[in-house]
């Protein structure tokens, strides 16, 4: 067995990893995932740790040879890097500014996945809504969604993650008007307090976020909207947290990933002396956002595989993320087959 450590923190703490964990074979950065096979072989041959950090991207990750967990679903990178400067995030300083792939390259990869049997594709970027800025087309992401709608055999298109500050009406229209783009939106809130958002350098405010949610639900009433929330950001007060609870109640998220603030050395938020106080806030968030779901019938791709008699089959409905699977009782189905199933709606509108 060989052990490789990669990503943002591996790039930042390269020397510390080798010093504290001498059994690690390879340390690689955010720009050279494609070098991993060679680095592993070199570590085996030389019997010593190999550390390689590149300062610029050589190849988009999703174009590399891949053994996919699922034959019917795949991820396609449309951009890497980020032009935002959130004070809690290490990504911009390590992954660099945003770099966009050309639409033709993205669509070629999508078609190749469909030719291999994929029914579902997720478009991936640090901030998908700014896709196209590098080549001068600020409406490129909405156009890309519509183009994916024309790929024969592609049943479902998802994307992650958009940034509220750059979320535009043309993307909402593309989602609503393109049949295979799912009514599913993961949009990080981080905080509902304007004061905390300003301290985070999140370039939107509570009212802007809620207007986006309202606009999405106006065009897609059954849309499942999910989010990320940080609890205990430095200087967060009870009033700030109450503002976040207000947004959670009003937005009616289908689910939320809540994180206790964790200091990242090298980020601006790690510098203030004022600690964040999480207390029981994560539990309060869960209680405020707990949906009173109701049943809804969807077409969900079956996970496939053997199952005990009478067991329910897990799948993923149009609105659902993997943590809210559709369930279907019945005979065994091949992996990826679309079947009608009943699931509990995460956050019913109205």
Residues near 299 by Cβ (< 8 Å), separated by ≥ 6? Answer: 317, 318, 338, 339, 340, 341
Which of 145, 60, 56 lies closest to 100, judged by CA? 60
Summarize pLDDT for 91-126 with one digit per residue, the tens. Answer: 777 777 888 999 999 999 999 999 999 999 999 998
Q: What is the distance between the alpha carbons of residues 31 and 76, in angstroms, rounded to a whole number?
A: 16
| DSSP-assigned letter for residue 152 | T
> Can you give the length of the chain in residues?
350
Instruction: Say if residue 197 is in the same domain as residue 330.
Output: no
- The CA-to-CA distance between both ends of the chain, in Å, stands at 53
Angstrom CA distances, 210 to 157, 213, 347, stand at 24, 5, 15
Instruction: Say if residue 108 is in the same domain as residue 245.
Output: yes
Q: Compute how many other C-beta atoms are within 10 angstroms of the C-beta atom of residue 250.
A: 14
Instruction: Say if residue 40 is in the same domain as residue 120.
Output: no
Residue 173, SS3 per DSSP: helix
Q: Is residue 33 part of a domain?
A: yes
Q: Are 296 and 263 in contact (CB under 8 A)?
A: no
Q: Are 123 and 76 in contact (CB under 8 A)?
A: yes
One digit per residue, pLDDT tens: the chain, 350 residues?
999 998 877 888 888 898 899 999 999 887 777 788 888 999 898 888 888 887 666 666 666 666 777 789 999 999 988 899 999 988 777 777 888 999 999 999 999 999 999 999 999 998 999 999 989 999 999 999 999 999 999 999 999 999 999 999 999 999 999 999 999 999 999 999 999 999 999 999 999 999 999 999 999 999 999 999 999 999 999 999 999 999 999 999 999 999 889 888 778 888 765 555 555 676 666 666 555 444 444 455 555 555 444 444 445 556 554 434 444 455 555 666 666 655 555 444 33
Q: What is the distance between the alpha carbons of residues 330 and 313, in angstroms, rounded to a whole number?
A: 8
Instruction: Say if residue 235 is in the same domain as residue 271.
Output: yes
Instruction: Say if residue 98 is in the same domain as residue 162.
Output: yes
Q: Quote the pTM value.
A: 0.76
Q: Is residue 330 part of a domain?
A: yes
| DSSP-assigned letter for residue 311 | P
Q: Is residue 350 part of a domain?
A: no
Q: Is residue 107 part of a domain?
A: yes
Q: Is residue 158 part of a domain?
A: yes
Instruction: Say if residue 119 is in the same domain as residue 251.
Output: yes
Range of the domain at 338: 295-344
Q: What is the distance between the alpha carbons of residues 321 and 227, in angstroms, rounded to a whole number?
A: 11
Out of 289, 304, 325, a domain closes at 289
Instruction: Say if residue 214 is in the same domain as residue 255.
Output: yes
Peptide bond into 161 cis (omega under 30): yes
Instruction: Say if residue 186 is in the same domain as residue 281.
Output: yes
Count Cα atoms within 13 angstroms, Cβ side, for 84.
Answer: 23
Q: Are 231 and 241 in contact (CB under 8 A)?
A: yes
Instruction: Say if residue 210 is in the same domain as residue 322.
Output: no
Number of domains present in the structure of the chain: 3
CA torsion 103-129-265-274 (nearest 10°) is 180
Q: What are phi and psi of 99, to 5 degrees?
A: -125, 130
Q: Is residue 102 part of a domain?
A: yes
Out of 289, 308, 330, a domain closes at 289
In which region does residue 19 sit, left (phi positive, over 0), alpha (psi from -120 to 50) or beta (all else)? alpha
Q: Are 224 and 108 in contact (CB under 8 A)?
A: no
Instruction: Say if residue 199 is in the same domain as residue 68.
Output: yes
* DSSP assignment of 222-263: T-EEEEEEEES-TT--HHHHHHHHHHHHHHT-SEEEEEE---
Angstrom CA distances, 181 to 75, 104, 177, stand at 14, 19, 8
Q: Is residue 349 part of a domain?
A: no
Q: Is residue 101 part of a domain?
A: yes
Q: How much is the pLDDT for 289? A: 58
Count Cα atoms within 13 angstroms, Cβ side, for 203.
Answer: 8
Out of 250, 267, 289, a domain closes at 289
Instruction: Say if residue 268 is in the same domain as residue 300.
Output: no
Instruction: Say if residue 41 is in the same domain as residue 156.
Output: no
Q: What is the distance between the alpha carbons of residues 186 and 197, in angstroms, rounded to a whole number?
A: 18
CA angle 157, 203, 84 (to 5 degrees): 70
Summarize pLDDT for 238-263 with one digit per residue, the tens. Answer: 999 999 999 999 999 999 999 889 88
């Amino acid at each position: 067995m060989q052990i490789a450590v990669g990503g943002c923190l591996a790039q930042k703490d390269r020397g510390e990893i080798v010093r504290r964990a001498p059994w690690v074979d390879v340390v690689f950065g955010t720009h050279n995932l494609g070098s991993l096979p060679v680095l592993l072989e070199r570590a085996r041959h030389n019997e010593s740790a190999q550390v390689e950090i590149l300062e610029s991207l050589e190849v988009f990750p999703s174009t590399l040879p891949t053994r996919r967990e699922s034959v019917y679903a795949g991820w396609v990178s449309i951009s890497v890097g980020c032009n935002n400067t959130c004070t809690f995030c290490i990504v911009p300083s390590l992954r660099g500014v945003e770099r966009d792939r050309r639409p033709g390259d993205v669509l070629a990869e999508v078609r190749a996945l469909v030719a291999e049997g994929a029914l579902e594709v997720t478009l991936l970027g640090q901030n998908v809504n700014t896709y196209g800025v590098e080549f001068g087309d600020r409406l490129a992401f909405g156009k890309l969604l519509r183009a994916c709608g024309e790929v024969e055999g592609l049943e479902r298109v998802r994307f992650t993650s958009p940034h509220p500050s750059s979320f535009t009406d043309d993307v909402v229209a593309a989602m609503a008007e393109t049949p295979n783009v799912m009514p599913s939106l993961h949009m990080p809130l981080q905080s509902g307090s304007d004061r905390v958002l300003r301290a985070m350098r999140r370039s939107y405010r509570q009212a802007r976020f809620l207007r986006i949610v309202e606009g999405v639900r106006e065009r897609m009433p059954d849309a499942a909207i999910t989010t990320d929330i940080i609890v205990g950001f430095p200087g967060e007060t009870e009033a700030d947290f109450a503002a976040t609870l207000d947004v959670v109640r009003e937005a009616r998220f289908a689910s939320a990933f809540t994180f206790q603030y964790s200091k990242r050395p090298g980020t601006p938020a790690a510098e203030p002396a004022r600690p964040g106080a999480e207390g029981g806030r994560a539990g309060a968030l869960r209680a405020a956002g707990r949906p009173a779901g109701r049943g809804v019938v969807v077409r969900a791709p079956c996970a496939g595989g053997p199952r005990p008699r009478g067991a329910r089959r897990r799948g993923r409905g149009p609105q659902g993320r993997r943590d809210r699977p559709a369930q279907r009782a019945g005979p065994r189905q091949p992996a990826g087959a679309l079947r009608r199933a009943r699931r509990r709606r995460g956050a019913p509108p109205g």
